[in-house]
A = this chain, B = another copy of it.
Amino acid sequence: MIFEERLTSYVTQIERALDAALTTADCRGQESIVEAMRYSALAGGKRLRPVLTLEFCRVSGGSPADAMPFACALEMIHTYSLIHDDLPCMDNDDLRRGKPTNHKVFGEGMAVLAGDSLLTYAFETAAAAQIPSDRAIRAIGVLAHEAGYYGMIGGQVLDLAAEHRQISHAELTTLQDMKTGALIRAAARMGCIVGGASQEQLQAAETYANALGLAFQIQDDILDIEGDEAEFGKPIGSDEKSGKSTFPGLLGLDACREQVRSLTDEAIAALGVFAENTFLTDLAESLVGRRK
């Protein structure tokens, strides 16, 4: 299957599964919060994390369908983190993916609860997966660890603390490895666990995810400077305006472009232990070249 075909197929399946999981049918009077959860979870996006979970499951010898509950759980956690991150007491953003942010539509109290609910429902969804329970428990452990204060939330804490000061390149790398990298790592690791990967494959997947996650973030910073607002979907120059430390600000644009290239090469080089690796290679390449 060619890259674009498989990618489209994955994204379609993921959005269908999210839509089915977050149904207002039989929600026992909880339409209002389910609507708030759906508003953000079904607002589009690249679905990079769940795609990685499905594909790593496949190349580890499993069926992508087995990994779907974990892929959805990951996307729910990614979504909740965006809702809480946009709150007035955090980044105070009015727009996300070109739409008003969750709290702008549903109010702050409801946005807090919609985020809490997506985070909780992620684990309910994962726990309902029809796979051997020893693998399910391992995958849930990885998800909670990478989403927690050792991972994504830890990155948010560093971000909050870095708000009004310049940070070093090392600090920014750690921050982004936690804030963005952790869930990408969880995506790869969970796919491998569900698919039954070897220890060697699991390590390679982690190397791939770490390099890809960092390249992804640097590319994001580059696009915030030289991207096209309509394509990128966010206002250009927002990092500079908010005084955020960025990779181009610390290293310059040229060094950043080189880093994205070398990290992408590093990610691709790790894939040798998987017999089928063209999709993951193409995915890494597509992220270097991305304009959005």
The residues of A with any CB-CB pair to B shorter than 8 Å are: 27-30, 32-34, 37, 80, 84, 87, 89-90, 107-110, 112-113, 115-117, 119-121, 123-124, 127-128, 133-134, 136-137, 140-141, 143-145, 147-150, 153-154, 156-158, 160-161, 174
A161 vs B153: C-alpha distance when bound (angstroms): 29
Are B148 and A117 in contact, with the CB atoms below 8 A? yes
A109 vs B127: C-alpha distance when bound (angstroms): 29
Say what secondary structure dominates the interface of chain A.
Answer: helix
Q: How far is the CB of A88 from chain B (nearest CB, A)?
A: 8
Are B140 and A123 in contact, with the CB atoms below 8 A? yes
A72 vs B115: C-alpha distance when bound (angstroms): 22
Are A112 and B89 in contact, with the CB atoms below 8 A? yes
A123 vs B28: C-alpha distance when bound (angstroms): 25
A186 vs B133: C-alpha distance when bound (angstroms): 20
Are A149 and B110 in contact, with the CB atoms below 8 A? no
Most buried by B among A109, A134, A149: A149
Are A148 and B136 in contact, with the CB atoms below 8 A? no
Are A120 and B148 in contact, with the CB atoms below 8 A? yes
Are B161 and A148 in contact, with the CB atoms below 8 A? no
Which residues from B are CB-within-8-Å of A141?
Answer: 124, 127-128
Sampled A-B contacts (8; CB under 8 Å):
A32-B157, A113-B157, A116-B153, A120-B147, A120-B153, A128-B141, A136-B137, A137-B140
Which residues from B are CB-within-8-Å of A117?
Answer: 148-149, 153
Contact of A127 among B128, B137, B174 (CB under 8 A): B137
Q: How far is the CB of A177 from chain B (nearest CB, A)?
A: 11
Which residues from B are CB-within-8-Å of A120?
Answer: 119, 144, 147-149, 153
Which residues from B are CB-within-8-Å of A136?
Answer: 133, 137
Which residues from B are CB-within-8-Å of A128?
Answer: 141
Are A113 and B145 in contact, with the CB atoms below 8 A? no
